[in-house]
Each structure stands twice: as structure tokens, then as C-alpha cells.
């Protein structure tokens, strides 16, 4: 027995002392002590205080806790009674996806117990062992200031964030995110918190080969092992061909994967799934499976994939569900047709050509670029290469499924609950009414949870075994078996006149989608569709080709392909300005689009369909550029005291979208409850970004009901109505607008019912705070309680419920500019980002403090992509740095010393209360801003990311 004190209570445990302390704490119910790195001692999710010292509980043996005092994050305060520290984190806006928020709260609490007036360095030091991917670290410093003020004076003095729209009470105001108390206090929130006691575990046997046929699998020894329930292979499971991309149906991605394949196409590809009573038994059984592989030659780069005679990643047959070419039979006759290959099914033509490893392609443009280059005074031409990047959400992919009364219940950490339901329906054959997807809180998505990567197999395992099943990716599996950011080769040619005007732009993008085509077209498409419309240029052309390879799969990643296109274009523009002798700022100001400019370039960029040609709408781009230049003192050269360090400045203009006009669709249902409070059922999927709060705020301002009397239930396919999901920056714009429509419809019903009950005309009734309907003519007033009480009585006219649906052809584009000041050591190649300013037009920021945190988080993430992050494959296609330490993500030590996020106030005519999207766009600027700053510092153009010291030294000719 091990006896220790946990949160002030003496406890004894009958546990193997060589197990980890965290396992013992889970036995005690302290489930907020989480694990993000499989005991790597990196992320800090497992942090506890042991004998008054913060430690990683996964690196402590249970037996070593004998006689110790342990404090866990859930001891600080519950969601109804937050501590000062917890409340400050909530108020500062840092509690977003929040998988590590309880651990961060614990560390901050410990810090303030030791020191009531910690410095910025103290805060940096205590958070140095915590990985925060969503909100960055800047507002933790703000939270520390708030704590100091609260402890000293009982209230905050510091302004948390700027506020917008003074005529509104909720929208644009600093208010706690509605799920923040639950998340910061460590209450049940994530999939792992809802797992039943009788649940069995699933693990996956993965391919050691990048490309091979699976000729034989012997599972007999594994199946004979006690505790093993089922071993699922390609030979005993559903043969459905589908796609993991969770986006609009029919999808603009080829359907080219199955639950388990007879051909593996990357190291880490699924070979078998093992379901057993315990995790240990499942792992042991996995080791007993014997597989006979027939290795094939593999391709890992677009150059290898496009080479004549290259091995074919997909060599089965092609099928079209619409728009099949006339010569399809002849085409298929050239493919091997081997049954083990499966097939590639296009929902409609995407210009794919699997005989040349092309998953999809798109070509188009406006004007005449060749003529434009001839007329130019200078032309630059350069190729940029980007690396394969992992999202590294703190909560690795997880799914828990079970059967209840003949229905599949799926607890999913997903951005797309309705697409999860659809794809599970495809693989199980169950109709969608038999499937209930419950999106829990999501511990970090960033696009990776837009793919259905674990839910299909987990739900299928429950379907065939009848047992509750839990599947949870290891961190290594996140790297080798998840979606990642597409590596891309971006070739840019740009011509310009001496007056700084751009005459023509050519963009050639070759993208590596890996073995499967999820998001094959849509992500790379963004490298053109969310970049070229920045330019007021009549001659633009793009060629986009997406190749299959045998690397770990690519997929959606925050920003989609935009960061890559932006990197190439803005670096090329800076180089062109340099060549023309024009100031880069002046060139940017001369060539960027303005409100009303017709975006003809969009016609061919419609994700497999014809795109909408629309004029530029509200646009804060110029203001962002001017503001950033002023802040960073553009044009002023900075000198270092150390001659080895050279300082330079750079910036990039950026844009994104707010969902997909003509493709996305959102629904909400607003209900007036029996006491006059409001419940909004939303199809939306809040992944920690504050979407539920946005929905509550718009309902609050429309219905004049205080926020604490509004509850938003979202992401549940049983209780809500369809929503395409949280991706493509659609949440605020589409799901928010659906809530606007539903709330407005409910308001009309309330007005109508109040008029009926008061015996007056509806035109004479208005709603007012705090939830009353009032006659403008007579002054008579009914509370919402009065109204609903009467209308749900035995003689009433029924419950007041209003649906709201939102689709649009309108395009509300967020704009911005990101600025960097870097110092480069010209002898060692080291780079320090001294300053980083993110200036963005997000329309009306509905949650301003959360918006700022998302700008900080995405900016820091993209600084990481620019300087550090790179999945490195060996010659066999194995990822050699599939741990957090080896991979290299930015943490508080990497954060720029001077880091600012600024919101430009623009009121968009189509967004909910003028709002646009905020987060994805913030991934787009770092690479060109830093790249251009490096050139300004030391004269080299960095044409691939990450921009490592070694690459800089090579460019400088040092090695």
C-alpha cells in the first residue's frame, strides 16, 4: 500500500509502486492530471505539486509518493467557485481549448503563493514547462497582472482588451468564455472523462513499410490471448471506400481509403485493430500478429512522384460518381487493377491522374501574364519549399464509442460532428438516425480534427463487438498516422514597373498530399485563392498540382494552404521591390486590393466548382499595414551592440476567408424556456475558440437576455441541426449567423405572442432588457416568464421555438499584416524574433480577449513553422523526430520579447454584428515577415522553411 496526502486528504492505494504517480492520481479521481506526451516530460499536462515543488507526475513512480503531499489542479476551485488565479486566466482569455489550463492554473497558483509580486521573468520561468499551442503565452502575463491587482485591491485595473460596439451589451465586450470555468477548473470536459468502467481498449498495428502489399495476416496467436475480444483486419471488415476529410458532401477530395487496407501506403498506415479488455492485453496481442508484407518502391517528394516511371501510390482503378470522362475504361486498363489496391473514387472531376500520382489539379488565371512579364521593368522568379508540420494538439486524437439501445454513441473530439456521423454511417452501414455523435470539449484541433482519423475505426469496433471501445493515439501516432500540413513547392514569378506597380504574377504550386487525398484539392487551393486576391493585378495565373506520395498523410491545418502561398508571394514581392529599388511598404500600398475591387481571379478557385466572383468587401488591410509600419518604425535601421548580430525588419499582408460561401451551411434552434431563460441548440462545433460564447452573445443582444440566462448546447448530432463544422474559418460567420437568424426568429415569435397576450398590434411591441416585451404604445410589459408561462398553459399556443438557417454567397474576408523584427547572428546562423506585431481586421471582434489570444497563439505557432518545425523522414519514410522534444515546437522561451496583437475596427455588413473570422489568418504572416526581415538583416533570401541556422549559414556561404 502506498499512503500519501492528496489535496489535504490522506489516501492509501493498492498499486504496483513502479507504476506512475499519474496513474495513482487517476485512481483517486484526479483526472485533470492529464497526459499529452506519453511521459516525455515536455508538455506539462501531468503537472502536480509534490512536497511543495511542481513536478511531472508521469516521471514520478507511484511508490516514490509514499508519505508525500500532493496537490492537483482540480483542488483549486470548481466551476462555480473559481479561485482568483483561475478567474484571472478565464478573464484574460487564455482558457481556450484548455487541455493544459488546469495545470497552468496550478503553476500560477504555486507561483503566487511564493511571491505575491512576480516579475515577467518569474511568470516566464514557471510556465516554461507548459506547452500552450492555442492561445500563446502573452495573456498569461496579463493574467499575472490581473492576479496582482485583484490580490492587492480586490479588483482589476488593467484593461483586458479593447471593447467594440458600445450600443451592445454582450457582443464586442470582454466577458468570460462560457465554457472557461469548466475547463480551467478541470471538470469533466474531454472524451477521456466520459469513458465507462466496462470499456475495452483498441490499439492499431501499423505498417513499418512506406509502401507494401499486405499479403497475409496471421492473427491466431493474438486472438488466443486472454482478454482479446476481436482482431480486425482488411480481411474481415467493411470494404467501404471513403475519405477522412470532414467537409461538405459531395467532397472535393478523392475517396481512396478504407478502414484497413490490403496495401499500406505509409509508415504508420493501419494494418490491424486489436480490441481487448485492457490496454496491456491489446498491446501484447498486437505484438503477436504476424504479417507478410510485399514491399514496394516508394516515393516521398513531389519530384519523385512526378518522375517518369515513378511507383504508383494508387494503382487500382478510378471511378467517378459524376462527370466521368469518356475514356475512363481505357484509362483504367493502364492501371494494375490489383484487388489489393482498392479504388479511387472521385465525386466529380478534380483533374486527378493517378497514373502520374496526381490526386487533383487546377489551373487558371486572368489576363496575360507572359505579356505582363515582357512589359515589366524587372521580374523575379523563385521557388519556395515548405516542410511537413504536425498540429501537435495537446489532446491527442481520441474516441470513445458504445452501443445504447441499438444505436452507436460516439464521444468525439472533433471539429465536424455531422461528418463524423456520415462517415461512420458509410463504414458501418447504419443509417444516421442510429448514430449519435457527441462532441465533447476539444483539447486542440487546428485542422487535424477536421479529419475523421480515429472515429471510423473505433465506432466500427463497437459495431462489430457490441462493446464500449476507447481508442487514444499515442504522441508518436499523432506524427506518423494523422494528417499534417502539406509540404509544398511554391514557384513564384512576379513582374513590376519602376513605379512599383505589379504587372503580372504566376504561381505554380506542387503539393504533397501523402498517401491519401483528404483535402488534396482544398488545402493547396488556398495557397492561390487566399493569396492572389490580395493583389490589384490584372494578369495572374496559377498552376496547382497535388501529388500522392508515401509520406505520412497530409490534410487540413489552420490556414489551409494560405501560409505557403503567402510565403512565396510576399517574399517574391519584397525581392521585386528590392530589384526595382522601390520601398517595399510603398509597393504593398500601391498594389493591395481595396473595397469594391472586383476579384475576377476567384472564378476558377471554387474548390472543384466554379468560384464566386465578388467585389472586395469591408477591408482593413491598408490600415493594418500603416499601423504596423508605424509600430515597428518601418524604415528605421536598428543596430546591435554585438557586431555578430544583424537586425532587420519585414512584414507581409495577409488574408483568409470566413467560411465558404455557397458551400457552408449552419443551423441553430433557439428556445424560450419555462422561466424565460434561453437555450440555443447549435449544430456548431466549438473547439475551444469561443464559438459557444459567440452564439450566446448574439442571442443575448438580440433577445435582450443576460448571458447567464442563456445556455448554448452544441456539437451534438441528436439535439442540434446540421452544421458543416468548424473549419475554413466558418464558425463565427456561419454558425454565428445561424444563431442570429434563430434568435431573430425567436424574437419575432416572442413579439407576436406578447402582442397576442396584450391584445395589441405586433408593430407596437419591442423587447428590452432583461428579457421583457413592452408595448411602445401603452407601456404595458410582459416578462419572458409571463409570456412562456401563458403560451405553454393548457390553453396556450405552444412552446416558442425558432430555427435559424444560414447560407450565403457573401464573402467576408479578414485582412491583416504581420510584422517582424529579427536579429540574425551571421557567424552562427541563430535567429531571434525580437518583435512580432499581428495587426488584423476581424470585423467586429465578438470575444475581443479571446480573439487577441488566438492571434497570439496562431502567430507563435507560425513562428514555430517558420523557424523550428519539420517532420524529418529517413530514406525509408520513417519519421525520425516523432516526439515533442525532437520535433521542436515553440514555447514560452521562443515567444518574441515584444509581442503585440492589434485589432483593426471594421464593421462588416455580412458578418454577425459585423464579425469576420480571426484565428486561421494569423497563421499566414510569420514566414514571409520573418523571411523578409532576415533578408533585411543579413541580405539572404530564405527560400525554405524552417529557416534554420544551418540554412542561413549556407545562404551566407559559411558552410
- Reading the block at residue 838, the C-alpha cell is 499581428
- Least CB distance from residue 861 to other proteins, whole Å? 13
Please report, as residue ranges, which positions from 81 to 110 form the binding site for other proteins (by CB under 8 A). 107
**Cα 755 from Cα 778, distance rounded (Å):** 12
Give 936's contacts (C-beta < 8 A, 6+ positions apart).
Answer: 648, 649, 650
From residue 507, how far is each of 565, 610, 642, 928 by CA, in Å? 8, 19, 40, 16
Per rule CB under 8 A, is residue 891 in the interface with other proteins? yes
Residue (397 or 697) nearer to other proteins, CB = 397
Per rule CB under 8 A, is residue 827 in the interface with other proteins? yes
Residue (545 or 825) nearer to other proteins, CB = 825
Per rule CB under 8 A, is residue 64 in the interface with other proteins? yes
- Least CB distance from residue 234 to other proteins, whole Å? 30
**Cα 657 from Cα 911, distance rounded (Å):** 12
Q: In a 10 Å sphere around its CB, with 0-12 CB exposed, 13-18 middle and 19+ buried, how is residue 302 labelled?
A: buried
Q: Give the Cβ contact number of residue 286 at 10 Å.
A: 21
Per rule CB under 8 A, is residue 162 in the interface with other proteins? no
Per-residue string for binding with other proteins, 18-47, x by CB under 8 A? x-x----------------xxxxxx-x--x
Residue (67 or 250) nearer to other proteins, CB = 67
Residue (107 or 410) nearer to other proteins, CB = 107
Per rule CB under 8 A, is residue 17 in the interface with other proteins? yes
Tell which one of 595, 635, 893, 909 touches other proteins (CB under 8 A): 893
Per rule CB under 8 A, is residue 304 in the interface with other proteins? no
Residue (42 or 819) nearer to other proteins, CB = 42
Tell which one of 115, 215, 278, 885 touches other proteins (CB under 8 A): 885
- Least CB distance from residue 828 to other proteins, whole Å? 6
Please report, as residue ranges, which positions from 120 to 149 form the binding site for other proteins (by CB under 8 A). 125-126, 128-130
Tell me, by CB under 8 A, how many residues bind other proteins. Answer: 54
- Least CB distance from residue 72 to other proteins, whole Å? 14
Residue (128 or 778) nearer to other proteins, CB = 128
User: Which of 90, 149, 141, 152 has the alpha carbon at shortest distance from 119?
Assistant: 141
- Reading the block at residue 391, the C-alpha cell is 498540429
Put residue 408 in one of left, alpha, beta given phi > 0 → left and psi -120 to 50 → alpha.
beta
- Least CB distance from residue 67 to other proteins, whole Å? 8
From residue 726, how far is each of 654, 754, 862, 890 by CA, in Å? 21, 36, 20, 25
Per rule CB under 8 A, is residue 300 in the interface with other proteins? no
Please report, as residue ranges, which positions from 234 to 263 form the binding site for other proteins (by CB under 8 A). none
- Least CB distance from residue 102 to other proteins, whole Å? 14
Radius of gyration of the chain (CA): 28
Residue (480 or 889) nearer to other proteins, CB = 889
- Least CB distance from residue 646 to other proteins, whole Å? 16
Residue (567 or 868) nearer to other proteins, CB = 868
Residue (461 or 833) nearer to other proteins, CB = 833
Q: In a 10 Å sphere around its CB, with 0-12 CB exposed, 13-18 middle and 19+ buried, how is residue 322 labelled?
A: exposed
Residue (21 or 423) nearer to other proteins, CB = 21
Per-residue string for binding with other proteins, 786-825, x by CB under 8 A? ----------------------------------------
Per rule CB under 8 A, is residue 830 in the interface with other proteins? yes
Piece of 361-369, 749-757, 795-803, 945-953 that binds other proteins (CB under 8 A): 945-953
Piece of 62-70, 231-239, 428-436, 692-700 that binds other proteins (CB under 8 A): 62-70
- Least CB distance from residue 55 to other proteins, whole Å? 5
**Cα 338 from Cα 317, distance rounded (Å):** 9
**Cα 825 from Cα 832, distance rounded (Å):** 9
Per-residue string for binding with other proteins, 465-494, x by CB under 8 A? ----------x-------------------
**Cα 203 from Cα 226, distance rounded (Å):** 16
**Cα 693 from Cα 851, distance rounded (Å):** 12
Per rule CB under 8 A, is residue 953 in the interface with other proteins? yes
- The residues that bridge with 205 in the sheet, in sequence order, are 272
Put residue 41 in one of left, alpha, beta given phi > 0 → left and psi -120 to 50 → alpha.
left
**Cα 338 from Cα 451, distance rounded (Å):** 28
Residue (130 or 147) nearer to other proteins, CB = 130
- Least CB distance from residue 448 to other proteins, whole Å? 21
Residue (55 or 409) nearer to other proteins, CB = 55
749-785 burial string, b = 16+ CB within 10 Å, else e?
bbbebbbebbebeeebbebeeebbbbbeeeeeebbbb
- Least CB distance from residue 643 to other proteins, whole Å? 12
Q: Parallel, antiparallel, or unpaired for β 469-472 and 398-404?
A: antiparallel
**Cα 715 from Cα 711, distance rounded (Å):** 13
Residue (125 or 781) nearer to other proteins, CB = 125
Per rule CB under 8 A, is residue 880 in the interface with other proteins? yes
**Cα 415 from Cα 427, distance rounded (Å):** 19
Per rule CB under 8 A, is residue 956 in the interface with other proteins? no
- The residues that bridge with 294 in the sheet, in sequence order, are 213
**Cα 634 from Cα 650, distance rounded (Å):** 9
Piece of 61-69, 189-197, 233-241, 460-468 that binds other proteins (CB under 8 A): 61-69
Per rule CB under 8 A, is residue 281 in the interface with other proteins? no
Residue (41 or 796) nearer to other proteins, CB = 41
DSSP assignments along 857-920, one per residue: HHHHHHHHHHHT----B-TTS-BTT-SHHHH----GGGS-SEEEEEEE----SSSGGGB---SG
Give 847's contacts (C-beta < 8 A, 6+ positions apart).
Answer: 93, 175, 177, 690, 693, 694, 697
Per rule CB under 8 A, is residue 66 in the interface with other proteins? yes
Residue (128 or 278) nearer to other proteins, CB = 128
**Cα 381 from Cα 52, distance rounded (Å):** 59
Which DSSP category does 553 fall into?
P
Residue (54 or 928) nearer to other proteins, CB = 54
User: Which of 99, 29, 37, 14 has the alpha carbon at shortest distance from 70?
Assistant: 29
Residue (121 or 308) nearer to other proteins, CB = 121
Per rule CB under 8 A, is residue 58 in the interface with other proteins? yes
Give 515's contacts (C-beta < 8 A, 6+ positions apart).
Answer: 265, 266, 269, 313, 548, 549, 550, 551, 553
Residue (674 or 880) nearer to other proteins, CB = 880
Tell which one of 756, 888, 902, 943 touches other proteins (CB under 8 A): 888
Q: Are 11 and 4 in contact (CB under 8 A)?
A: yes
- Least CB distance from residue 387 to other proteins, whole Å? 12
Per rule CB under 8 A, is residue 69 in the interface with other proteins? no
Element (H, E) at 696: helix 691-703
Q: Are 515 and 550 in contact (CB under 8 A)?
A: yes
Tell which one of 60, 435, 663, 691 touches other proteins (CB under 8 A): 60
- Least CB distance from residue 575 to other proteins, whole Å? 26
Sites of contact with other proteins (CB under 8 A): 16-18, 20, 37-42, 44, 47, 53-56, 58-61, 63-64, 66, 107, 125-126, 128-130, 475, 827-828, 830, 864, 868, 872, 880-881, 883-886, 888-891, 893-894, 948-950, 953, 958-959
Amino acid at each position: 500500500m502506498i499512503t500519501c496526502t492528496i489535496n489535504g486528504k490522506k489516501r492509501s492505494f493498492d498499486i504496483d509502486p513502479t507504476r506512475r504517480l499519474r496513474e495513482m492520481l487517476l485512481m483517486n479521481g484526479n483526472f485533470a492530471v492529464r497526459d499529452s506526451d506519453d511521459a516525455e516530460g515536455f508538455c506539462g499536462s501531468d503537472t502536480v505539486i509534490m512536497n511543495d515543488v511542481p513536478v511531472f507526475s508521469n516521471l514520478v513512480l507511484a511508490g516514490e509518493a509514499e508519505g508525500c503531499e500532493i496537490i492537483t489542479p482540480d483542488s483549486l476551485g470548481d466551476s462555480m467557485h473559481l479561485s482568483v488565479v483561475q478567474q484571472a486566466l478565464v478573464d484574460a482569455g487564455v482558457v481556450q481549448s484548455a487541455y493544459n489550463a488546469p495545470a497552468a492554473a496550478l503553476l500560477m497558483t504555486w507561483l503566487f503563493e511564493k511571491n505575491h509580486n512576480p516579475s515577467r521573468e518569474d511568470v516566464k520561468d514557471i510556465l516554461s514547462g507548459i506547452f500552450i499551442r492555442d492561445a500563446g503565452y502573452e495573456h498569461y502575463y496579463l493574467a499575472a497582472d490581473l492576479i496582482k491587482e485583484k490580490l492587492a485591491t480586490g479588483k482589476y485595473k488593467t484593461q483586458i482588451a479593447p471593447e467594440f460596439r458600445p450600443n451592445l451589451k454582450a457582443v464586442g465586450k470582454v466577458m468570460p468564455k462560457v465554457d472557461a470555468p469548466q475547463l480551467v477548473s478541470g471538470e469533466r470536459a474531454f472524451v477521456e472523462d466520459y469513458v465507462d468502467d466496462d470499456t475495452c481498449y483498441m490499439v492499431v498495428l501499423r505498417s513499418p513499410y512506406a509502401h507494401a502489399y499486405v499479403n497475409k495476416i496471421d492473427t491466431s496467436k493474438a486472438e488466443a490471448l486472454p482478454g482479446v475480444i476481436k482482431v480486425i483486419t482488411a480481411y474481415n471488415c467493411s470494404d467501404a471506400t471513403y475519405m477522412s476529410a470532414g467537409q461538405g458532401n459531395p467532397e472535393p477530395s478523392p475517396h481512396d481509403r478504407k478502414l484497413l487496407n490490403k496495401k499500406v501506403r505509409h509508415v504508420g498506415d493501419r494494418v490491424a485493430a486489436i480490441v481487448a479488455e485492457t490496454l496491456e492485453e491489446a498491446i501484447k496481442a498486437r505484438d503477436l500478429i504476424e504479417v507478410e508484407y510485399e514491399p514496394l518502391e516508394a516515393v516521398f517528394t513531389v519530384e519523385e512522384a512526378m518522375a517518369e516511371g515513378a511507383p504508383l501510390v494508387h494503382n487500382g482503378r478510378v471511378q467517378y460518381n459524376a462527370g466521368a470522362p469518356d475514356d475512363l475504361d481505357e484509362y483504367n486498363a493502364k492501371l494494375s487493377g490489383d484487388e489489393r489496391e482498392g479504388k479511387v473514387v472521385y465525386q466529380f472531376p478534380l483533374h486527378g491522374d493517378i497514373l502520374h500520382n496526381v490526386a487533383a489539379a487546377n489551373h487558371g488565371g486572368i489576363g496575360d501574364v507572359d505579356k505582363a512579364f515582357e512589359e515589366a521593368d524587372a521580374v523575379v522568379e523563385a521557388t519556395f519549399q515548405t516542410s511537413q508540420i504536425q498540429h501537435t494538439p495537446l489532446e491527442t486524437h481520441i474516441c470513445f464509442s458504445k452501443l445504447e439501445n441499438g444505436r452507436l454513441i460516439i464521444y468525439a473530439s472533433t471539429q465536424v460532428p455531422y461528418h463524423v456521423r456520415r462517415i461512420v454511417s458509410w463504414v458501418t452501414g447504419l443509417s444516421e438516425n442510429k448514430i449519435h455523435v457527441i462532441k465533447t470539449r476539444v483539447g486542440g484541433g487546428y485542422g487535424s480534427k477536421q479529419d475523421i482519423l480515429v472515429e471510423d475505426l473505433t465506432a466500427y469496433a463497437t459495431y462489430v463487438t457490441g462493446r464500449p471501445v476507447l481508442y487514444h493515439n499515442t504522441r508518436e501516432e499523432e506524427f506518423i498516422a494523422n494528417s499534417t500540413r502539406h509540404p509544398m513547392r511554391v514557384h513564384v514569378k512576379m513582374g513590376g514597373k519602376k513605379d512599383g506597380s505589379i504587372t503580372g504574377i504566376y504561381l505554380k504550386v506542387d503539393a504533397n498530399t501523402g498517401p491519401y487525398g483528404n483535402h488534396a484539392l482544398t488545402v493547396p487551393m488556398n495557397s492561390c485563392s487566399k493569396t492572389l486576391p490580395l493583389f490589384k493585378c490584372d494578369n495572374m495565373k496559377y498552376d496547382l498540382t497535388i501529388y500522392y506520395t508515401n509520406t505520412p498523410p497530409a490534410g487540413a491545418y489552420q490556414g489551409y494552404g494560405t501560409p505557403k502561398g503567402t510565403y512565396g508571394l510576399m517574399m517574391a514581392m519584397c525581392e521585386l521591390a528590392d530589384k526595382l529599388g522601390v520601398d517595399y511598404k510603398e509597393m504593398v500600398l500601391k498594389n493591395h486590393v481595396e473595397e469594391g475591387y472586383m476579384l475576377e481571379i476567384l472564378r476558377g478557385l471554387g474548390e472543384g466548382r466554379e468560384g464566386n466572383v465578388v467585389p472586395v468587401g469591408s477591408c482593413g488591410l491598408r490600415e493594418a499595414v500603416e499601423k504596423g509600419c508605424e509600430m515597428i518604425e518601418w524604415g528605421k535601421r536598428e543596430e546591435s551592440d554585438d557586431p555578430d548580430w544583424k537586425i532587420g525588419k519585414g512584414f507581409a499582408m495577409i488574408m483568409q476567408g470566413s467560411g465558404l460561401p455557397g458551400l457552408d451551411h449552419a443551423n441553430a434552434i433557439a428556445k424560450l424556456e419555462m422561466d424565460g431563460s434561453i437555450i440555443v441548440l447549435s449544430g456548431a462545433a466549438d473547439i475551444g475558440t469561443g464559438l459557444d460564447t459567440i452564439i450566446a452573445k448574439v442571442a443575448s443582444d438580440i433577445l435582450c437576455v443576460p448571458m447567464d440566462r442563456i445556455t448554448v448546447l452544441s456539437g451534438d448530432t441528436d439535439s442540434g441541426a446540421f452544421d458543416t463544422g468548424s473549419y475554413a474559418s466558418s464558425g463565427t460567420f456561419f454558425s454565428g449567423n445561424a444563431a442570429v437568424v434563430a434568435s431573430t426568429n425567436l424574437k419575432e415569435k416572442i413579439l407576436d405572442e406578447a402582442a397576442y397576450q396584450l391584445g395589441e398590434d405586433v408593430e407596437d411591441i419591442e423587447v428590452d432588457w432583461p428579457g421583457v416585451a413592452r408595448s411602445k404604445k401603452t407601456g404595458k410589459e410582459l416578462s419572458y416568464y409571463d409570456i412562456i408561462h401563458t403560451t405553454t398553459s393548457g390553453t396556450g399556443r405552444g412552446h416558442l421555438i425558432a430555427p435559424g438557417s444560414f447560407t450565403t454567397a457573401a464573402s467576408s474576408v479578414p485582412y491583416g499584416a504581420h510584422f517582424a523584427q529579427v536579429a540574425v547572428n551571421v557567424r552562427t546562423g541563430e535567429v531571434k524574433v525580437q518583435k512580432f506585431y499581428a495587426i488584423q481586421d476581424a470585423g467586429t471582434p465578438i470575444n475581443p480577449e479571446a480573439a487577441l489570444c488566438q492571434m497570439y497563439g496562431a502567430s507563435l505557432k507560425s513562428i514555430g513553422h517558420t523557424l523550428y518545425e519539420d517532420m524529418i523522414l529517413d530514406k525509408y519514410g520513417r519519421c525520425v523526430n516523432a516526439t515533442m522534444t525532437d520535433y521542436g515546437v515553440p514555447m514560452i522561451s521562443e515567444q518574441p520579447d515584444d509581442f503585440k496583437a492589434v485589432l483593426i475596427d471594421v464593421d462588416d455588413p455580412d458578418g454577425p454584428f459585423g464579425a469576420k473570422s480571426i484565428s486561421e489568418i494569423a497563421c499566414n504572416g510569420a514566414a514571409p515577415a520573418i523571411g523578409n526581415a532576415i533578408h533585411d538583416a543579413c541580405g539572404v533570401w530564405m527560400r525554405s522553411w524552417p529557416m534554420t541556422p544551418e540554412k542561413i549559414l549556407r545562404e551566407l556561404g559559411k558552410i
